[in-house]
C-alpha cells in the first residue's frame, strides 16, 4: 500500500466497529469449547473425532491470519474485510442448518477462512489509521480480545444450555451486521496488486498445519513433515525473488527477540486460560456456569485496563510497558500458584492479576513491532505476530494437558502453596512464572544491547 497518510471519516465509529467484530470473532472460538460434548453426543462421536471442531478451526485460522496479514500490504482493508465477513457469515449459516458432522466441519473451516481476516486487520488498522494514538488503540483492541476470551465460555454455556449448540453458529452469523458500519468508515484505498509467492505461502501453510497437528493431535509423524517443510520454507525464503516472508525480518534481532518473548508470554497466558477451567472443575467441583463466573472478574479487569494501558504505551514507551507487564505477569502467576486450594472467591480475585496483563503484553508488544517494521512490511510482520499467538495457544494447551495427565504431585513446588489435589496446578503456574522471568531477562538484555548499538551507530 502507499505510504501516503490516510484520512478516515469517523475514527471513533471505526474503532467501535472493529472492536465489535473482533469480540464476535474471539468468542466464536471460545464458545465452541463449551459445545464440544453436545456435538459429540448429537453425532455419536469419539473424542478424537469431535476434537476436529476446534483443531481444524485453529489450523485454518492460523494460516489465514498470516495470509491476510501479507495481503494487507497490497489490498485495501475495506476489500479484505468485506470478503472475510461474508465468508464467515456463510459458514455460520451453513453450520446452523448442518444435517451431519461432515457439514459441521466444513462450516467451521469456512468460518475460519473468513474469520482469520479479523485479527489481522484489527492489529493493522491501529498502526495504519491511528498513528498518533496507536498505543491506546492497540490497548483497546487487546482488552477486547481478553474480555471476549473470558466471556465466550459463559455466553456459549448459556446459549447451548437454554437453546442448543446449533444456535452458536447463528449467534456468530450476527457479525455481518457490522459490515455496513465498517465499509462506511474504512477509507477507499487503492489496491496495488503485487506478485505473491504462492509456492512459499503454500510451504508456510503446510508447515503450520503439520506443526499444529503434531501439537494438538500428538502425531509424531507430523513433526517430521513439519521439519522437512521448514527446511523448504527457509530455502524458498533465500532463493525466491519476492519471498512470501522476507528473510531480513528475522535478521533484525529486535524483531526476533520481541516475537520470542511475546510468544512466551502469550503461551503462558493461554496456558492459564486453558488450565483454570479444568482446575476449577477438578479441585473445586464447580459447574460450567460457576467456572465462567469465577473467571469473569479477570476478564473484566483485562477489558478495563486495556485503554489505560494503551495510553501508557503512548506516554511511557512500548518497551517500558512491555517490561512492566512481564513483571506484573510474573507476580500474578506467583499469586495464583499460592492461592490454588483456597476459597474459590479468593482464587477468583487472584486471577485478576495475571489476566489483566493480557492487553498490556499484546498492546506493548504489537507497538514495539510496529516501530521496528517498515510500512511496506507491517502486514506480513504483524501476520507472523498473530500466527505465533495462535501457535502458542495450541502448544501451551497441549503441553499443559499432557502434564495434567501424567503428573500428580502431592505437594507444590511453591513453599507458600497448599498441598493436595491442586498441587499440580500450583506447579504449572510456577513454571509459567519461571518462563516469564526468562523472557524478561532475555528482552531486557537483548533489547538494551540493540538500543546501545543503534545509538553508537547513529
Residues 109 and 224 in one domain: no
Residues 427 and 313 in one domain: yes
Kindly report, residue by residue over 254-297, the tens digit of the pLDDT: 888 888 898 899 888 888 877 887 788 778 887 766 777 787 78
DSSP assignment of 410-453 equals: SS-SSTTS--STTHHHHHHHHHHHHHHHHHHHHHHHHHHHHHHH
CATH number reported for the structural domain that contains residue 296 in this entry: 1.20.1250.20
Residues 122 and 13 in one domain: yes
pLDDT at residue 455 tops 50: no
Cα Rg, the chain, nearest whole Å: 21
Residues 296 and 237 in one domain: no
Confirm whether 170 is domain-assigned.
yes
Residues 114 and 147 in one domain: yes
Confirm whether 458 is domain-assigned.
no
Confirm whether 88 is domain-assigned.
yes
Q: Which residue has the higher pLDDT, 1 or 239?
A: 239
Confirm whether 410 is domain-assigned.
yes
Most confident of 7-11, 80-84, 189-193: 80-84
Confirm whether 443 is domain-assigned.
yes
Confirm whether 224 is domain-assigned.
yes
Structural domain harbouring 438: 249-451
Identify the pLDDT of residue 453. Answer: 40
Residues 340 and 381 in one domain: yes
* CA 166 vs CA 35, 173, 260, 322: distances in Å: 9, 11, 38, 40
Confirm whether 180 is domain-assigned.
yes
Per the structure, how many domains does the chain have? 3
Residues 226 and 345 in one domain: no
Residues 230 and 285 in one domain: no
Residues 319 and 444 in one domain: yes
Residues 34 and 180 in one domain: yes
In angstroms, rounded to a whole number, what is the distance separating the alpha carbons of residues 35 and 27?
A: 13
Percent of the residues in the chain that have a pLDDT greater than 70, as a whole number: 90
Residues 220 and 288 in one domain: no
Residues 54 and 117 in one domain: yes
Confirm whether 417 is domain-assigned.
yes
Amino acid at each position: 500500500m502507499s505510504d501516503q497518510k490516510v484520512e478516515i471519516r469517523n475514527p471513533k465509529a471505526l474503532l467501535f466497529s472493529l472492536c465489535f467484530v473482533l469480540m464476535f470473532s474471539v468468542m466464536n472460538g471460545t464458545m465452541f469449547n463449551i459445545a464440544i460434548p453436545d456435538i459429540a453426543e448429537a453425532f455419536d462421536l469419539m473424542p478424537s473425532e469431535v476434537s476436529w471442531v476446534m483443531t481444524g478451526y485453529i489450523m485454518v485460522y492460523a494460516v489465514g491470519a498470516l495470509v491476510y496479514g501479507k495481503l494487507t500490504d497490497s489490498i485495501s482493508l475495506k476489500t479484505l474485510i468485506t470478503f472475510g465477513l461474508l465468508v464467515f457469515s456463510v459458514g455460520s449459516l451453513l453450520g446452523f442448518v448442518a444435517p451431519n458432522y461432515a457439514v459441521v466441519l466444513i462450516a467451521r473451516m469456512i468460518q475460519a477462512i473468513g474469520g482469520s481476516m479479523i485479527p489481522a486487520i484489527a492489529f493493522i488498522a491501529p498502526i495504519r489509521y491511528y498513528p498518533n494514538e496507536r498505543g491506546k488503540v492497540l490497548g483497546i483492541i487487546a482488552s477486547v480480545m481478553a474480555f471476549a476470551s473470558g466471556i465466550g465460555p459463559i455466553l456459549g454455556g448459556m446459549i447451548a444450555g437454554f437453546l442448543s449448540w446449533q444456535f452458536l453458529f447463528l449467534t456468530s452469523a450476527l457479525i455481518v451486521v457490522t459490515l455496513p458500519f465498517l465499509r462506511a468508515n474504512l477509507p477507499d484505498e487503492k489496491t496495488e496488486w503485487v506478485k505473491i509467492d504462492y509456492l512459499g505461502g503454500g510451504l508456510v501453510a503446510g508447515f503450520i498445519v503439520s506443526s499444529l497437528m503434531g501439537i494438538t493431535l500428538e502425531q509424531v509423524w507430523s513433526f517430521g513433515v513439519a521439519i522437512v517443510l521448514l527446511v523448504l520454507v527457509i530455502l524458498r525464503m533465500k532463493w525466491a525473488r519476492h519471498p512470501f516472508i522476507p528473510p531480513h525480518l528475522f535478521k533484525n534481532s529486535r524483531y526476533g527477540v520481541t516475537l520470542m518473548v511475546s510468544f512466551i508470554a502469550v503461551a503462558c497466558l493461554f496456558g492459564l486460560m486453558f488450565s483454570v477451567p479444568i482446575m476449577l472443575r477438578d479441585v473445586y467441583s464447580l459447574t460450567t456456569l460457576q467456572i465462567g463466573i469465577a473467571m469473569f472478574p479477570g476478564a473484566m479487569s483485562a477489558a478495563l485496563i486495556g485503554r489505560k494501558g494503551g495510553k501508557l504505551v503512548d506516554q511511557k514507551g512500548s518497551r517500558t510497558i512491555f517490561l512492566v507487564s512481564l513483571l506484573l505477569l510474573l507476580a500474578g502467576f506467583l499469586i495464583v500458584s499460592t492461592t490454588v486450594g483456597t476459597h474459590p472467591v479468593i482464587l477468583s480475585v487472584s486471577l485478576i492479576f495475571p489476566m489483566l496483563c493480557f492487553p498490556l503484553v499484546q498492546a506493548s508488544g504489537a507497538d514495539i513491532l510496529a516501530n521496528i517494521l517498515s510500512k511496506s512490511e507491517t502486514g506480513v510482520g504483524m501476520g507472523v505476530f498473530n500466527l505465533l499467538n495462535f501457535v502458542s495457544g495450541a502448544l501451551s494447551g497441549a503441553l499443559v494437558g499432557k502434564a495434567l495427565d501424567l503428573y500428580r504431585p502431592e505437594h507444590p513446588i511453591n513453599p507458600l502453596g497448599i498441598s493436595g489435589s491442586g498441587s499440580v496446578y500450583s506447579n504449572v503456574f510456577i513454571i509459567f512464572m519461571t518462563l516469564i522471568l526468562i523472557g524478561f531477562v532475555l528482552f531486557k538484555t537483548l533489547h538494551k544491547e540493540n538500543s546501545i548499538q543503534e545509538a553508537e551507530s547513529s
